[in-house]
Amino acid sequence: MAKWRLATATLRRQLQSSSPTISTFKNPTKALSAAAHQSTRSYSTTQTDDSRGKWLTLPPFSPTIDGTAVGKDLLSDGDSVKSSTDNSKTTALRWILRCRPDLPRTLVQKLFRLRQVRREMSMSVDGDELQRSQLKRVAAKESLNVGDRIYLPLSVDNDTPQTPPAKKESFQCSDEERKFVCSLVLYKDPAIIVLNKPHGLAVQGGSGIKTSIDELAASCLKFDKSESPRLVHRLDRDCSGLLVLARTQTAATVLHSIFREKTTGASAYGVKKNVKSLKRKYMALVIGCPPRQRGQISAPLRKVVVDDGKSERITVNDNGELVSTQHAITEYRVIESSPHG
C-alpha cells in the first residue's frame, strides 16, 4: 500500500503525459496509471466530404498497452524489461472493431471482401512535417502505422442494427447499502480500487447468493468512470481482507496477468530468486498449534468437487494421480497461541 500512496503525484503527471512506453512498466504504479490513461480514450467517427467522396473517418491509429506483456514484465527481473515493436502494431480489422464496437464483425469483414475500406498513411517529411497519402484500399490483416487513418463508407451506419441488445437489469443499491460500500474503500486512483472486504460477504454472485461485491461495485463504485469496476482476484466469503478491483479494462488485463503469473517460479524446490512472485499474507485462527513456530509448506494443490457437485474445494494432491495441479508454497509464522490449543 505504501507504493500506491507515494505514487499519487506520479499518477497525475502520468495522466497528463503522452502515451507511455514499455520502459515505464518497471514501476507497477506507472504501469497501472498508464493503463488507466489509455483506457479512458474515446474513439469517435467523423464524416468527411472532399474530392475523394464521403467517408466515415476513424481516429488516427495509436498503439495501446499489451496488458499481458506488462504483467509478465512486472514479475520478471527489473533489468530484463524489453521493448517490443510488435506491441505497437495492430491490423486494420482490429482497429475498426476497437473504434466501432457497435459494428458487427461479419459486416466489417464483408466491407474488406468488397474492398470498400480505405487507408490514409501518415508519412514524415524532412523529419518533422507530416504528410498524408492518398486513400488506398487496405486488407483486413494489414498492419497499421502510428497516425494512419481508416475510412469506411457511410452506408455502414445504415447496415448496422439499430436495436441495441437487451441489457441485464442492473443491481439497485439502497442509500444505506451505497453508504456502506463506499465506506469499505481504503484506496482509489484512476486504475484501481482497494476494498476492505468484510467477513460473510461473497465476492462474486451465483446460485443462492443474493448480494455480492461485484454487483455492489457496479452500482456504487463507478465514481467518475463510465464503466464498472472489475474483479481481478477473489477472497472466500468467510475471509476478510484487501480486495483489489480494476477500474478499466486495460488495468484489469494487467492485474489478471500479474495474479496469473504469480506462481511462475514456484516448484517443489522453492521460488526462483529472479522471479518477483506476488505474495499474499493472511492471519488465521486455527485449531491446534504447529510444532514449529515458523516454517514452509510446499505441496501440489488440486481442485476437487464436493457436496454432490454443488461446490469445489482445494486439496493437496498427495496420491500421485495424473491430474491438473498447481504447486503452492506457503511460509507460516505463529503469532500467538492459547493454553487451550
Query: What value does the mean pLDDT take over residues 325-329?
Result: 82
What is the spatial distance between Cα 23 and Cα 120, in angstroms, rounded to a whole number?
30
Q: Is residue 37 part of a domain?
A: no
Task: Indicate whether 260 and 287 sit together in one domain.
Answer: no
Task: Indicate whether 307 and 241 sit together in one domain.
Answer: no
What is the spatial distance between Cα 279 and Cα 260, in angstroms, rounded to a whole number?
12
- Give me the DSSP letters along 22-33: GGGGGSHHHHHH
Residue type, 139: A
Query: What value does the mean pLDDT take over residues 58-69?
Result: 75
Q: Among the three residues 265, 299, 316, which one is the final residue of a domain in this structure? A: 265
Q: What's the confidence (pLDDT) of residue 93? A: 92
Residue-averaged pLDDT of the chain? 76
Q: Is residue 205 part of a domain?
A: yes
92 Rama class: left (phi>0) / alpha (psi -120 to 50) / beta: alpha
Q: What's the confidence (pLDDT) of residue 80? A: 45
Q: Among the three residues 214, 237, 265, which one is the final residue of a domain in this structure? A: 265
**What confidence tens digit (pLDDT) does each residue in 275-306 have?**
556 778 899 988 888 889 999 988 888 888 88
Q: Is residue 275 part of a domain?
A: no
Q: Is residue 155 part of a domain?
A: yes
Share of the chain above pLDDT 90, in %: 23
- Residue 113 domain boundaries: 89-123+133-159
What is the spatial distance between Cα 190 and Cα 36, in angstroms, rounded to a whole number?
6
Please give the residue that has the higher pLDDT: either 294 or 324.
294
Q: Take residue 1 and report the three cell numbers written for it.
A: 500500500
Among all residues, which ones are annotated catalytic? 236
Q: Residue 36 pLDDT more than 70?
A: no
What is the spatial distance between Cα 85 and Cα 197, in angstroms, rounded to a whole number?
40
What is the spatial distance between Cα 57 and Cα 154, in angstroms, rounded to a whole number?
9
**What confidence tens digit (pLDDT) does each residue in 21-34 have?**
434 445 666 666 66
Share of the chain above pLDDT 70, in %: 64
Q: Residue 172 pLDDT more than 90?
A: no
Query: What value does the mean pLDDT take over residues 319-334?
Result: 80
Task: Indicate whether 295 and 333 sit together in one domain.
Answer: yes
- Total residue length of the chain: 341
Banded model confidence at residue 74, pLDDT cuts 50, 70, 90:
low
Q: Is residue 307 part of a domain?
A: yes
Q: Is residue 7 part of a domain?
A: no
CB 65 within 8 A of CB 20: yes
Task: Indicate whether 154 and 181 sit together in one domain.
Answer: no
Task: Indicate whether 294 and 236 sit together in one domain.
Answer: no
Question: What is the count of structural domains for the chain?
Answer: 3
Q: What's the confidence (pLDDT) of residue 293? A: 93
Chain centre to alpha carbon of residue 22? 16
Banded model confidence at residue 84, pLDDT cuts 50, 70, 90:
very low
The neighbour count for residue 139, using CB atoms within 10 Å, is: 12
Q: Worst-scoring range by mean pLDDT, 17-21, 102-106, 125-129, 264-268?
A: 17-21
Banded model confidence at residue 85, pLDDT cuts 50, 70, 90:
very low
Task: Indicate whether 183 and 233 sit together in one domain.
Answer: yes
Banded model confidence at residue 72, pLDDT cuts 50, 70, 90:
low
**What confidence tens digit (pLDDT) does each residue in 197-252 have?**
999 999 988 777 888 899 899 889 999 888 889 999 989 888 999 999 999 888 88
Task: Indicate whether 155 and 185 sit together in one domain.
Answer: no
Task: Indicate whether 151 and 176 sit together in one domain.
Answer: no
Q: Is residue 165 part of a domain?
A: no
Task: Indicate whether 260 and 328 sit together in one domain.
Answer: no
Query: What value does the mean pLDDT take over residues 153-171?
Result: 66
Task: Indicate whether 251 and 328 sit together in one domain.
Answer: no
The residues facing 328 across adjacent strands are 299
* Sign of the CA dihedral running 222, 225, 231, 235: negative
Q: Is residue 36 part of a domain?
A: no
The neighbour count for residue 60, using CB atoms within 10 Å, is: 15
Query: What value does the mean pLDDT take over residues 306-323?
Result: 76
Q: Among the three residues 265, 293, 313, which one is the final residue of a domain in this structure? A: 265
CATH number at residue 224: 3.30.2350.10
